[in-house]
Structure 1
């Protein structure tokens, strides 16, 4: 069977691939510690689960409007007002089947063949693939390690052409965990306003921030930037609801209408009980969100130090999300591996530790470790990596 060109050109998700391989080895009886998954290891808070059950028991199991329940849009608007001081009307919000689907739908309605989207590296693995699926071209800008993996206004300006449609800003970042400051966002925003390009602001990790930094949405900085910005967010990471598949986009009403029209011919609507659960997530108590953030911070403080003790590995301390993104190039060379991809494969097959090679994120000298697992498992994983390196040097 001849498949369509658009899918034959896709690169499979490296994060899902490593998770699948780890599960396969576990099924064979191997004691594999998986540090690949990008989801919290906490269950969804009980009051959210109960809201979903209540909605089903009350008969809310039918179609909803394609763009989401009005009640949920109101809850999202209230959240944006409370957290960022941003005002959005209901026709400026769409509810989608996860933040990933919000991005996919956005690119489908935004891009024509040959349009360019600037993507800072390291990037989340699905950004370039979704751009390509919409007929667009990803244009990469390297966020240098010495600049905390963040791009500069000069770098952004250099990449803008007459075909540039948008730039993606992911803060806190997957995979690096780095957070753009207000001043950094302001400077990038000025370039976007000058060049007339849209800003896609992926804020899915906004609730997972550590230390003295704070999450700032670039849309907060001025009315002009708000008009140029599409906010992408959801409850997957903040409320440990990855499997519920609820995300949203907030932006200009014309763009939201186009996304809603497309959704009406693709998903019909996000899952109904999951929407009621999300209303409870946003409108209900937030103590569990803080408990989860505090647990991630505790793990980070311990594991970051231990990781940097491994010969040939150096890791900047992330400011958000739940990933470590160490430079492992020297460790790969020291252990006789031709590159970090081979090093990660050897960690899986010989040390029974699953990590994701940085090549999948556009940064081949690095690897990503998720600390969304128990502290005991994390400490054992780092011990195994350390032992593996020591044995081969």
Structure 2
């Protein structure tokens, strides 16, 4: 399997990156990139890249495929290199993938230090930063110094939703490639070919995930995730009063919590078991006092990850609700086409008849406002209650 075979919906970007990776290392451009978005047909090799695109477009997948292509020493080495990159074990690959709200300056400092080494087995030393938009300005300035004077064989690959999420000085040092949202058909085909999902489930998951590749995979392979999404929509459609709204807010917060736990609990247990094993502590054994600080640090990291996972779970709920009322609005306006939430078509028809397009738009505005408030660190419970009270005002009693 080639390094590009597991990607979907980004044919032009793949073609450009493959051409850049095929150039010999001595063709690496001396500059640090070029401001703005580079036409894909003009991609040449350079020291620093920025891959942007909406959530679910496959930014990190493409970054790691590009990294594997850069590290590979030839067609015969591609499969082995890709396995090492996917496992994050390649000696010439450094990765920063945070599960906190922000990337810390210490994390970037360690990465900058690693970037100074010459490649040991590959053609390049490749450094990947996922969620580069999570850097503070101070942290970004530390990274900027590394981008301005990179070692001869070091390549940086940053990922972010948009160019505007990074400070201007970094944008001026990178070559930016913008991805598009994959089509529903592309995502469904990926689920069928890569994950062995049956065609009907793959198509439904891709549509309900709105072409978000990671979410489509979860919906296609996890019945509990599908059930939680269905509960979210039914809860919103059942609101008829302010009391219903307050109870619905608690329900949605619980759904988001269950979703976050499903993602983090198994991983937390595996990390703790691995940490105890590396410290020489047998399962169920007493942890020596000298080692407890290391485990507390792991637990603190896991708590921060749980916080971010909960925030992400709440945002997924709000995105699903936007898709619900988007369907209702299109039905009210008589727009042809299959709704995102076709599985509850009869409930959509009832909701469309029970209100007006103006009311539906006000509900969608309330959902967007809730997303903004939560992103600004307003307590999720309060933001959800305020949003759902707005829903109750436009519900037919």
TM-score (norm. length: structure 2): 0.31
Higher strand share goes to which structure? Answer: 1
TM-score (norm. length: structure 1): 0.31
Higher relative contact order (CA 8 A, sep 6+): 1
Higher Cα Rg, which structure: 2
